[in-house]
Amino acid sequence: MDGSRPILQVQGLSAAFFTRRGVVRAVNDVSFSLAAGQTLGVVGESGCGKSATAMAILRALPFPGRLTGGKVLFEGEDLLAKSEPEMQRIRGRRIGMIPQDPTASLNPVMTAGKHIIEVLQVHLGMSHAEARERAAELLHTVGIPEPELRLHAYPHQLSGGMRQRLMIAMAIACRPAALIADEPTTALDATVQAQILELLRSLCAQLGTATMLITHNLGVVAGLCDTVLIMYAGRVVEQAATEELFARPRHPYTVGLLRCVPRVDQVGLAELWSIPGQPPDLIKPLPGCAFAPRCPLSSDECWEALPPLAPQGGTGHLCACWHADEVEGLKTWKLQESLG
């Protein structure tokens, strides 16, 4: 495994939904690079464009979504230049996908075994016997006990955590170079969530998979992701190595998200907090910073001009805020006070 080999390079990616109500600019100028064995966390509230970014990368935007610009290089190949049949061979085989809700993605009349066997037969051309044997191994790998028995289980006979493990088994069946997990644990309770995330982490490290982990919970990325990309209103507003982001958040939105993470050492002392207000309507983008209506630091400049994603120091830390310097100096409690 070569940790520095770029697997996925996304450059200036933009996508929109052309609805009757207007054009929803869901993904705007998103760029990042993801190397083999690395995990990138994509974090933001619901509606910030996380799933649309993933779907745009896979060229699988639902109608009326369309790519409107940018480039996606996967192992050096331009995905936007591929035909649909070529993309079908890439999705599921070379780029695995784990969706938020396994129940919606599993066929209720197909056994666990059949789900995996089908993936192996379609993408790798395995015989039924070969695929069956491999399916049992995969169930074992993802921590499903008694795999031989579970091959015959239908989705409704599995717990939520088991169903998500099955989705992971299907996603890694072809040993993809990249994996996109879209809120893979949102539907699960906290203990199972932690187990599934640990499973994902260890599998990706073992297989050297470049992983994009989408979540609305910044707490999930700590200890799991190498880098984090914070999205707000369809744009990347902050990007940094995970440790750097947690130690020195520069965007007021990131500071707000950090305050939403429950802390074990503060149980009983602080109530779980949420950022006041709502993410904006992406059909009518503001001329300036999209976070201005919710931001305690906003000034006239913020309402007038869009802040560029600019380097913060020499560490690869990027932030799109006119007042990033002031955020660093702010104590979190002070920000909360002014927000509240």
Residues in contact with ligand SF4 by the rule CB under 6 A:
251-252, 289, 291-292, 295, 297-298, 302, 307, 321-323
Could you give the CA distance from residue 112 to residue 228 in angstroms, rounded to a whole number?
33
The listed partner (ligand SF4, ligand ADP, Mg ion, none) that binds 26, CB under 5 to 8 Å by sort, is: ligand ADP
- Judged by beta carbon, residue 65 or residue 252, the one nearer ligand SF4 is 252
Min dist. Cβ of residue 183 to ligand ADP (A): 8
* CA proximity to 100, closest of 64, 67, 32, 54: 54
Q: Nearer to ligand ADP by C-beta: 48 or 295?
A: 48
212-229 in b/e form (b: 16+ CB < 10 A) is: bbbbbbbebbbebbbbbb
Per the CB < 8 A criterion, the answer to whether 185 and 196 are in contact is yes
Q: Which does 235 bind (CB under 5 to 8 A by kind): ligand ADP, Mg ion, ligand SF4, none?
A: none
Count the neighbouring beta carbons within 10 Å of the beta carbon of residue 313.
Answer: 11
Report which residue's Cβ sits closest to Mg ion: 51
Nearer to ligand ADP, 35 or 43 (CB): 43
**Is residue 51 a contact residue for Mg ion (CB under 5 A)?**
yes
Nearer to ligand SF4 among residue 116 and residue 289 (C-beta): 289
Identify the sign of the CA torsion 169, 171, 174, 175. negative
Q: How far apart are CA 162 and CA 173, in angstroms?
A: 16
Residue 65 Cβ vs ligand ADP, minimum distance, rounded to whole Å = 6
Secondary structure letter of residue 156 according to DSSP: G
Q: Of these partners, Mg ion, ligand ADP, ligand SF4, none, which one is at the site of residue 302 (CB under 5 to 8 Å by kind)?
A: ligand SF4
The minimum distance between CB 216 and ligand ADP, in angstroms, equals 7
Residue 243 beta carbon to ligand SF4: minimum distance, rounded to whole angstroms: 22
Whole-number Å distance between alpha carbons of 99 and 77: 24
297 binds, among Mg ion, ligand ADP, ligand SF4, none (CB under 5 to 8 A by kind): ligand SF4
The listed partner (ligand SF4, ligand ADP, Mg ion, none) that binds 19, CB under 5 to 8 Å by sort, is ligand ADP
Q: In the chain, where does DSSP find H-type helix?
A: 50-57, 84-90, 102-105, 112-124, 128-141, 147-150, 160-172, 190-207, 218-221, 242-247, 252-259, 300-304, 324-329, 332-339
Which residues in this chain contact ligand ADP in the complex, by CB under 6 A?
Answer: 17, 19, 24, 26, 44, 46-52, 62, 64-65, 282
